[in-house]
Amino acid sequence: MKKTFAEKSNHLIFLGTAALIVSAVFFLNSCNKKSKQVASSKTHSEKVVPKTAKVISTKPEIPDDPNKRYIYLTFDDGPNKGTENLLKIINKYQIPVTSFIVGKHAYDSKTQAKNLKELEIHELVELANHSYSHAENKYSEFYKNPEKVVHDFDRAKDSLKFKNKYARTPGRNIWRTSDINNTDIKSSKTAADELQRAGYVLVGWDLEWKPDNTMKLKGSHQQMAKRVDSIFFNDLEKTSRHLVFLTHDQYLQDDDSVKELDLFISGLQNSNRFEFRKISDYPGINDILK
């Protein structure tokens, strides 16, 4: 049957409309694809690591258990009075710790030299740099001279032959890793930056067990355990699900303080919700920029 002109026109209109719809769909798909590519590119560019830098991990990370929370027990100012009691707790519970050592303390007495040797050979203990002089406890003056700060850490590194790059600044909660850059007191920022340039990875903390005015641990193990739970629950750690805990060797001289730390660790260990690790296992701590 022969089609009329009107029928032919309608047919052409239909074909033309269909072609426009197909073209529109193709255009929208193309735009969506480009948008995703741009979004992906933007996300990548917003990472802390510069585009020109290459991240190299000097030690593979340990996989996380999604049912666990990780605690890094760190003890400052050793070898000191209380180090022997710390070693007893480590042996009792077979837990890994990181001990941030003050260089000059290794030479203050024969007992301290002996304690340092015990820490060095203990497979569960990791030693790290806490400066040589501990700023002579004059922190504001110490950080005014960044060159002096770097020299002080280098002196500790050379005299004690530290095998890693981890360090903690005396009197300051400062972080300098490939992922974290944080300075608690801004007047110390320049010195911290210089330490990072010198190759140090600065490790701060998420929770500190402080002393009372008699230099004993302040508060109970129950209170400290609640603070651990609160930090994890509110996601206040520098790295989610990973908490760096700090206290000091010299707070472990009396029986009550030793007992409280003992019960604190026992409670965490028995809950089966936590796992203890050394600082060298902290996420990204071994990443360096090349």
pTM of the full predicted structure? 0.81
Q: Which residues span the domain enclosing 174? A: 56-289
Task: Note whether 158 and 248 are same-domain residues.
Answer: yes
Same domain for 43 and 60? no
**Same-domain status, 33 and 115:** no
What is the mean pLDDT of the segment spanning 77-97?
98
On whether both 33 and 126 belong to a single domain, the answer is no
**Two tokens, residue 49:** 């690591």
- What's the CA gap between 166 and 125, in Å, rounded? 14
- Domain count along the chain: 2
Question: For residue 38, what pLDDT is reported?
Answer: 38
pLDDT at 46 over 60: no
Per-residue pLDDT band for 58 (boundaries 50, 70, 90) equals low
Listed in sequence order, the residues at least 6 apart from 172 whose beta carbon sits closer than 8 Å to its beta carbon are 139, 143, 183, 184, 185, 188, 192, 204
pLDDT, tens digit, 9 for 90 and up, residues 230-267: 999 999 999 999 999 999 999 999 999 999 999 999 99
Biggest distance spanned by C-alpha atoms of the chain:
115
| pLDDT score recorded for residue 229 | 98
61 with 41, same domain? no
Are 115 and 149 part of one and the same domain? yes
Once rounded to an integer, what is the mean pLDDT over residues 179-204?
A: 98
d(CA 60, CA 285): 10
pLDDT at 248: 98
CA distance 75 to 257: 14
CB 250 within 8 Å of CB 78: no
Q: Are 73 and 276 in contact (CB under 8 A)?
A: yes
Of the listed ranges 35-44, 174-183, 185-194, the least confidently predicted one is 35-44
pLDDT value of residue 40 = 38
Residue 239: beta bridge partners? 242
Same domain, 86 and 159: yes
Instruction: Give the integer Cα–Cα distance in Å for 187 and 184.
Output: 9
Q: Are residues 118 and 27 in the same domain?
A: no
For range 64-86, the mean pLDDT: 96
**Which of the residue ranges 11-15, 159-163, 286-290 would you say has the lowest mean pLDDT?**
11-15
Distance CA 201, CA 127 (A): 14
Q: Which amino acid is at 103?
A: G
The model's pLDDT over 116-147, given as tens digits with 9 standing for 90+, comes to 999 999 999 999 999 999 999 999 999 999 99
